[in-house]
Chain A
Amino acid sequence: MPKRKLTRARLDAMRVEAKTLLAANRREVLVCAGTGCIAGGSLHIYDEVKRLCEERGLKTHVALKSENSGSGDLHFKKTGCHGFCEMGPLLQIEPEGILYTHVKPSDAEEIVERTILKGEVIERLLYTLDGVSYPKDSEIPFYKLQKRLVLENCGYTDAEDLDEYIARDGYVAFEKALFEMTDESICKEILDSGLRGRGGAGFPMGRKWDSVRRQPKGKKYVVCNGDEGDPGAFMDRSIMEGNPHSIIEGMLIAGLAAGSDEGYIYVRAEYPLAVDRLRTAIAKAEQLGLLGERIMGTDYSFHLHINRGAGAFVCGEGSALTASIEGKRGMPRVKPPRTVEHGLWGQPTILNNVETYANVPLILRKGAAWFRSIGTEKSSGTKAFALTGNVVNTGLIEVPMGTTLREIIFDIGGGIKNGKKFKAVQIGGPAGGCLTEEHLDMPLDFDSLKSVGAIIGSGGLVVMDEDTCMVETARFFMSFTQNESCGKCVPCREGTKRMLEILTRIVNNEGTLADLDLLESLSATISEAALCGLGQAACNPVISTLKYFRDEYLAHVVDKHCPRCNGRKVKLVIDPELCRGCGKCRKNCPMEAITGEIRKPHVIDTDKCIKCGACWSNCPFGAIREE
């Protein structure tokens, strides 16, 4: 059958048809198919529930538009990340909005028998908090306090179903841009919306796009940075998996604004599912005629490619990313010239991250003024955060810019795990800084974070409780950055190595006070002199922990004992020369690991010893040392 050419009228007609189907198609079984829930076995649950429904003679279908679908059918969907990863695997029944948590394949039978056939709610599978169970996801505090715009479709739609995306006003913004706007007016709309890059630095998007637009005509590129390498961040992965068409639409609009006909999406190798979903989405868009030559009968052509990363964190940096797409070592280069002038293959390039592109269709569809009404004056819109670490509700959230940490960690996140005390939150990954109790009520936006030496970064929030040693945390980040340093410039290559050596020394209680000064001066040098963002920001975790948790450094350096990490790597021994056999250590040992007769040297059984240091701090003769 020859492919019918896509026109605006045909796309609109398709949308009307899809909307009708969506409205009629009432009963839905949604199974979360994000990486997290799949790892928890959600696909087995999907298969099992579907099989049991079919066994009972229920009609099922898996796509919005399927042949002979009737209104009584069950629509089965594998959705993108629903966000509430802590409670996964998740299964939701629509239109009732019943959300089941921690579902196991063995629950399938009961779900089919009771909920799907009889409409009953299974109490034990509901989310409960403080004795209250929540049948509907919209009422759960975790969701209620969020504002999901970019993630709106994630968790509710089938990521692979283009019809459903179209039914939910997908590609409306692109149509508007293509037929009703000029390149200049698109850039102006984005500028007016106040959208700032969601990848870290928060550069105003409208200005970036306009710079590329103003470059002389010729080959230009649109690149999407899906190399979300910050440990503890998975917002972009969830968008790529759960709403891939929003990225394609955003890039199509960017291409229109810049005068580009070719785009690349660079995705981390660690995200195979995201690559699959994007590939499927691109293939479907091409098939329909949303991508390709002379789109919808206009002069605009746009082709989109996917590049998989190969495991180099530095490729999240703009110039390193473009080098990697060109098939080279992903090393950053000296700037200027900037990417907008000299990007991929030396051509002017719009380079944005995933979440930024996903915001674009919303802005064009609902208007710049609407977007500006969300968030704060200088940071408009929402931001997705990955909430992880020692917090009760780990998961993916989206809140308006300017929401406070307290609201995120305590109201949405449900507080600290195991009733522990909040200590700090690492924001912005290994390039970010830590925020402490004093920052809990600070609004989270680009500028207020900058003022305290942290960055939003891509949006990873790793919560740490009172038991976390901040020196060890700083060492951990430094070992990450050191490992990922590309080796091109000396300050980063050598500097991070020495920083790591010093930090390791301190963690092992072998550091001196002079080491702290050395850390500070090295940090200053590296931040000033490194070539790219990775190096310049590498010392941020050290600088901020030194500022806010200096006492923990002192515990390692002066006391030679950290109550949090218990000098994990060392062994406590009693020096027989110094021990007078007073027995004080034996009495104080909570593990009964110390034995010995009175007035004779005692010994520690290292197998029983938990290195708590009780003996060490009670010894009147200083006979206990670390080995």
Chain B
Amino acid sequence: MGKQSALQRVEEIIEGYGCRRENLIAMMQDIQNEYKYLSTEALELIADKLNIGVAKVYSVATFYENFSLEAKGRYIVKVCCGTACHVRKSQPIYDGLREYLDLHGKQKTSSDGLFTLETVACLGACGLSPVMTVNDEVYPKMTPESAIDLLKTLRAKEETSHAEA
């Protein structure tokens, strides 16, 4: 898929919202749904279409936690760090996964580009704490071991499908 056609979809989304300024957040959500992140080109196109400054668009995109300006991994892993999960020990899960994925400093995506590890503020599934999600599917009552096992399974699945392809 060429760059041109990629931006065409962005344009469709913006026009779908009638290029209205108040729908800025909604259109960025849709664009991110499609591409998993907001590229510089997409932000510039939005600014152009809405007739507002790129800085304005950028300021909104960086304000909200859900928007990412960087490409993410195929699997987005989120460990809940809400209070209920915290008191039922979610931090060791996050630490364990960081270690397993060999992430350092501000790095969030594993070097093979497969996993992006994030935390999420309360998913509201506190009854099942500690919880984590992989591409928005909720996994209840996790431990560091079961979390790593889950990622191992996903990685193995990717490798087999890769080998088959």
Contact = CB atoms under 8 A, between A and B. Distances in A.
A40 B128 contact: yes
Interface in B86-120: 86-88, 120
A307 B85 CA distance: 27
B60 interface: yes
11 contacts: A35-B124, A231-B84, A232-B82, A270-B123, A312-B65, A324-B25, A327-B25, A329-B59, A388-B83, A395-B127, A477-B83
Given A231-B83, A231-B85, 6 more contacts: A233-B124, A308-B26, A310-B29, A313-B121, A324-B25, A389-B83
A323 B83 CA distance: 27
B82 A231 contact: yes
A310 B62 CA distance: 11
A476 B86 contact: yes
A234 interface: yes
Nearest to A477: B83
Contact of A231 (B22, B60, B64, B122): B122
B25 A476 contact: no
A622 interface: no
B contact residues, range: 35 or more
Contact of A269 (B22, B66, B126, B128): B66
A333 to B, nearest CB: 15
A582 to B, nearest CB: 35
B127 A328 contact: no
A271 interface: yes
A464 interface: yes
A228 interface: yes
A307 B120 contact: no
B125 A39 contact: yes
Interface string A258-270: 0000000000011
A386 interface: yes
B146 interface: no
Contact of A388 (B25, B120, B127): B127
B140 interface: yes
Contacts of A405: none
Interface in B48-97: 59-60, 63-67, 81-88
Given A325-B22, A328-B60, A85 B127 contact: yes
B36 interface: no
A231 B131 CA distance: 13
A329 B65 CA distance: 11
Given A327-B22, A327-B60, A229 B138 contact: no
Contacts of A325: 22
A586 to B, nearest CB: 28
Of B23, B60, B127, most A-chain CB atoms within 10 Å? B127
A232 B83 contact: yes
Leading 8 A-B pairs by shortest Cβ distance: A85-B127, A311-B65, A231-B82, A310-B64, A234-B124, A39-B138, A388-B84, A311-B66
B127 A327 contact: no
A394 interface: yes
A580 B82 CA distance: 46
B129 interface: yes
A312 B22 CA distance: 17
Contact of B64 (A35, A85, A311, A326): A311
A394 B127 contact: yes
A480 interface: yes
A426 B83 contact: yes
A426 B88 CA distance: 14
Nearest to B28: A310
A462 interface: yes
A324 B67 CA distance: 14
A478 interface: no
A15 interface: no
A396 to B, nearest CB: 8
Nearest to B126: A388
A431 to B, nearest CB: 12
A68 B73 CA distance: 50
Contacts of B122: 229-234, 270
Interface in B2-30: 21-26, 28-29
Given A269-B66, A325-B22, A308 B87 contact: no
